[in-house]
Structure 1
Amino acid sequence: MEVEDDGRIRTGTVWTATAHAITAVIGSGVLSLTWSVAQMGWILGPLVLIGFAFITYYSATLLSDCYRSPDPVRGRRNHTYMEVVRACLGARDVLVCGIAQYAMLWGTMVGYTITAATSMMSVKRSNCYREKGENAKCGVSGNLYLIIFGVIEIILSQFPNLEKVTFLSVIAAAMSFTYSFIGLYLCIVKVISHHEIRGSLTGIKIEMNNVSASTKVWNAFQALGNIAFAYTYAMLLIEIQDTLKSPPPENKTMKKATMYGIGITTLFYVSLGCVGYAAFGNDAPGNVLTGFREPFWLVDIANFAVIIHLSGAYQVYAQPIFAFYEKWLALRWPTTGFLHTVYTLRLPLSKARSIQFTLSKLLLRTVFVVFTTLVAMMLPFFNSVVGLLGSIAFWPLTIYLPVRMYMAQAKIKGGSRKWMVLQSLSMFGLVVSLVAAVGSVADIAEHLKHAKLFKIEF
């Protein structure tokens, strides 16, 4: 292992970066795509899915060139997204970036907690129907499952950093393929069983589905946010790129990993979104897996795969947050034992292996996960939360900042053809984010009228 120019040893390759990218991109968002396509129909639905893939890939290539500055190959490393913003744009934009990035990371953790608990509840309900019959009352309360998932993440959060959870990303990526394939298979079987392709060119019809014109508009806006969330991973790209060894140059490796990750993701998204819409039509559920009861064993496997995937993906989003505040605390109080004294715990049945930790990591990470779980208990609105997260992060993190940083580093002249293209892309992203936020907030407000605090049922 060679020491890099900043004194660190990196072991990441295009394949580990691809695993991280797939884990970050294919998450709970894929489960809402069938519903999202249903809001827009056969014309706009597939076009939006493919369009967001191209936008995400292009903006990611711009961002990967900013990992080193001022030269993308030989410049100084920027280890985090915020460091890139500081190097390319200055300190004024760092605050905006930090708020957007870490709000998105944390919000995704909340969304993953909700989704994992929903999958656990689905398994419980499935077993109830299998034991008591299809007509049995099998309502399930979700607080216990939210707590179980939180306990799992408290344990996994003790891994020291993102590079040390690569194996979790590999497992999580495999699980994302598993439940995506199962969901796709179940949708194909459903299409074959009713001998028709359901849905319409313009999506849910107002007069036939008992929805008002305003509700259809809000849902369509929210669907844009869901799709944006499903593709977004710019807030993790720099942190993933910082795990890569060189040569070859990190930006070239990251562009390949992004191409593979986005390409594979898009194939799954378009397939599942469109085949799911063909299966359910305008009655598509918010979480596609909740639309199936049989075969019980296969649906259970899919839900278990979701749980395992989100357990690993949660850490991919959590570790950058841990690293940020732990670095800040260490610099603020450089001599405090609570932050710096390392304790070693020998593992039973193994003389060679041990766990090292500080009290700050043990306690603060635990408190952070507990707080995230409590928020998930208060906001159990899967589609609404997903759409709002996508709308918050899509424009500033995926388009605006990468475009501005690339133009600053590449010295793109104002008024040039490339400058106009990039500015148009940024304006488009802003419009998408605004309408998606409006739709998601409207839906959350509607849910809050009927919701009970700390009570999630399925």
Structure 2
Amino acid sequence: MDPMMKENGEIVKKENSEGENNLNGWLPVTANREGKWWYAAIHSVTGMVGAGILGLPYAMSQLGWGPGVTLLLVSWAITLYTLWQMIELHEAVPGKRFDRYHELGQYAFGEKLGLWVIVPQQFMVQAGCDIVYMVTGGSSLMKFYNIVHPNGPPIKLTYFIMMYAVIEFLLSNLPNFNSIAGVSLTAAIMSLSYSAIAWIASLIKGVQPDTSYASRYNTSASQIFGFLSGIGTVAFAFSGHNIVLEIQATIPTSPENPSKKAMWKGSLIAYVIVGLCYFPVAFVGYLVFGRFVEDNVMISLQNPNWLIAAANLFVVIHVIGSYQVYAIPVFDMLESFMVLKMKFQPSRKLRIITRGSYVGITMFIGIAFPFFGSLLSVLGGIAFAPTSFYLPCIIWLIIRKPEKYSISWFLNWAFIIFGMSLTILAPIGAIRDIVVQCGTFKFFS
């Protein structure tokens, strides 16, 4: 090879490497690598414990005691295992960090296929959750208003969603993951608070005289579809894997002290907290109200008003933080695309326009589609279960290559089969809900 050509090639390679490092220094996921284990814990709690936790007693009423308890415990255990796998794979290649889920996917499946396998599913989960948080934040804000100001003028849900969106627009200007640590900590505390209110208030209320644990449905068809819908509700409660590598990317690493130590410590604590939130709400809520529990256990509680108002306010504060935890990786994807593919220069103006547009689009969809929660269940069956339950197992088998018929090999294949079953079964109940709701569907209702 011509020495000049070789030298020019090395210069280009060096410039590309420097450009990549400069971009990573600007992108929100990799801009700050000074995170601590407790950062990982609070971001994970905020991301995992969604306001949907208040619907777990309803899911239990769709499933029944045996299947409900089993599915919740098994899902918690499986996703804890797959979370550990992802943390271990973050630095599977010496000297390299897989800072984003799609980077790990590209290493396992190839540059192009990895992108197509991971990015659409991850984006579907993150953007879908943010749209639901828009609706949840606006709905809880409206409930709070109606309780504290019962004689006030009626205000449409649309305007409450817009109020919530303004807060998210302001917070979206925070540059990176570590800069939202305070927001995330507050959100994590709120999630513990309103889940505690839900199950402690239910326990104080006590088992109702007319409580029954028979099926809540009158027909066999409704019972089957309801059961499948309950599976979806439980499966979608564990979606934190979509942000775990991005959170780990904020933690410093060295050969003596790899990032996986701090990340696993934070994640394990987060999963214990998740269990302390999920299990009491699901089991106590169903125990007290049985087949008559509402899809939001707070509605079943009804009184005292001040407690329900406080819980709704806590939900609003929590989903404000949850929105940002799921939005940061999306901002990272969008800003990376704008710089690398569209050739924009990294700037504050680009960041404001990109993030503001994303917040605006999620707000618009949240306002426009009253049954987006059901639609998300359909999309979630394709995205939530794979990214949390079995894609980590497939990637582990490809990269780590455990010995055939070993415990690791059996566990991963068992979880792949379990996760794929969820992918097939979970959306069916939601599709039926959409068909039923289409009859009364109105845009911007």
- Which TM bucket (shorter chain)? 0.7 to 0.9
Structure 2: runs of 5+ lacking an equivalent: 1-20, 26-30
Match of 2:28 in 1: none
For residues 65 and 32 of structure 2, the distance between their equivalents in structure 1, rounded to whole angstroms, comes to 49
1:69–1:88: 8 Å Cα contact kept in structure 2? no
Deviations 1:70-120 (A, max 9, x none): 2xxx44111100011112331213212100001110000011111111111
Given the alignment of the two structures, is residue 66 of structure 1 paired with residue 89 of structure 2, yes or no?
yes
Match of 2:226 among 200, 205, 219: 219
Alpha-carbon shift at residue 445 of structure 1 (Å):
1.9
TM-score (norm 2): 0.87
With over 3 angstroms needed to count, the CA separation of the structure-2 counterparts of 1:382 and 1:298, relative to structure 1, is farther
Distance 1:191 1:314, change over 3 A: same
The answer as to 2:328 corresponding to 1:319 is yes
Q: What per-residue deviation string (whole Å, max 9, x for no partner) do you get for residues 359-395 of structure 1?
A: 2221221121111111112333375256335423233
Contact 1:29 1:386 in 2 (8 A): no
The answer to whether the 8 Å contact 2:132/2:373 transfers is no
Residues 205 and 168 from structure 1, CA distance in 2 versus in 1: closer, same or farther, beyond 3 angstroms?
closer
Question: AA paired with 1:374?
Answer: F
Q: Quick one: which of 143, 148, 151 aligns to 2:158?
A: 143
**Which of 93, 107, 116 is the aligned partner of 2:114?**
93
Do the aligned partners of residues 389 and 164 (structure 1) sit closer, same or farther apart at CA in structure 2, a change above 3 Å counting?
farther
The within-5 A match list for 1:149-160 is 149-160=164-175
Cα offset for 1:255?
A: 2.0
- 1:447 corresponding residue in structure 2: 437
Q: Is the 8 A contact 1:115 1:382 kept in 2?
A: no
Whether the 8 Å contact between 2:43 and 2:184 is mirrored in structure 1 is yes
Q: Which residue of 2 aligns with 1:111?
A: 132
Paired with 1:89 and 1:285, the residues of 2 have a C-alpha distance of 44
Identify which of 215, 220, 227 aligns with 1:204: 215
- Provide the residue aligned with 2:62 in structure 1: 39
Q: Look up the match of 1:263.
A: 272
Quote the Cα distance in structure 1 between the aligned partners of 2:88 and 2:349.
Answer: 37
Residue 307 of structure 2 is aligned with which of 294, 298, 310? 298
Local SS of the residue matching 2:156: coil
Of 267, 289, 304 in structure 2, the residue corresponding to residue 280 of structure 1 is 289
Q: Which amino acid aligns with 2:102?
A: M
Cα displacement (A) at 1:212: 2.4
Aligned residue type for 1:173: A
Distance across 1 between alignment mates of 2:88 and 2:95: 10
Q: Does the 8 Å CA contact 2:190/2:318 hold for their aligned counterparts?
A: yes
Pair 432,35 (structure 1): closer, same or farther in 2 beyond 3 Å: same
Choose the corresponding residue for 1:408, options 388, 398, 414: 398
Shift of 1:183: 1.1
TM-score by length of 1: 0.85
AA paired with 1:254? M
Indicate conservation of the 8 Å contact 1:28/1:111, yes or no.
Answer: no
2:5 aligned partner: none
Residue aligning to 2:184: 169
* CA distance in structure 2 between the aligned counterparts of 1:9 and 1:371, rounded to whole angstroms: 27
Once residues 51 and 378 of structure 2 are traced to their aligned partners in structure 1, the CA distance between those partners, rounded to angstroms, is: 14
Shift of 1:448: 1.9
Aligned to 1:21: 44
More helix by share: 2
- CA apart distance, 1:195: 6.0
Q: Is the 8 A contact 1:29 1:227 kept in 2?
A: no
Cα RMSD (Å) of the superposition? 2.3
How far apart in 2 are the matches of 1:121 and 1:378? 17
- Give the aligned residue type for 2:45: I
Deviations 1:14-39 (A, max 9, x none): 21101011001111221110110110
Give the Cα separation in 2 of the matches to 1:103 and 1:189.
Answer: 39
Looking at structure 1, the residues matched to 71 and 159 of structure 2 have their Cα atoms a distance apart, in angstroms, of 37
Output the CA distance in 1 between the equivalents of 2:428 and 2:155. Answer: 31
Equivalent in 399, 402, 409 of residue 419 of structure 1: 409
Give 1:429's match in structure 2, choosing from 419, 422, 427: 419
More off after superposition, 430-439 vs 398-407:
398-407
Are 2:143 and 1:122 equivalent residues in the alignment? yes
Distance 1:141 1:214, change over 3 A: farther
* Correspondence for 1:81: 101
Q: Would the alpha carbon gap of residues 441 and 399 (structure 1) be closer, same or farther in structure 2, given more than 3 Å must change?
A: same
Q: Which moved more, 1:166-175 or 1:260-269?
A: 260-269
Give the count of matched residue pairs: 415
302, 312, 317: which one pairs with 1:308?
317
Deviations 1:133-189 (A, max 9, x none): xxxxx9763111111111111111111122221111111101111111111122112
CA distance in structure 2 between the partners assigned to 1:102 and 1:273 by the alignment = 28
Decide whether aligned partners of structure 1 residues 273 and 426 sit closer, same or farther in structure 2, where only a CA change above 3 A counts. same
Q: CA deviation at 1:310?
A: 0.4
Q: Which amino acid aligns with 1:101?
A: Q
Alpha-carbon distance between aligned partners in 2 of 1:199 and 1:26, rounded to the nearest angstrom: 28
> Closer, same or farther in 2 for the Cα pair 1:162/1:9, shift >3 Å?
closer
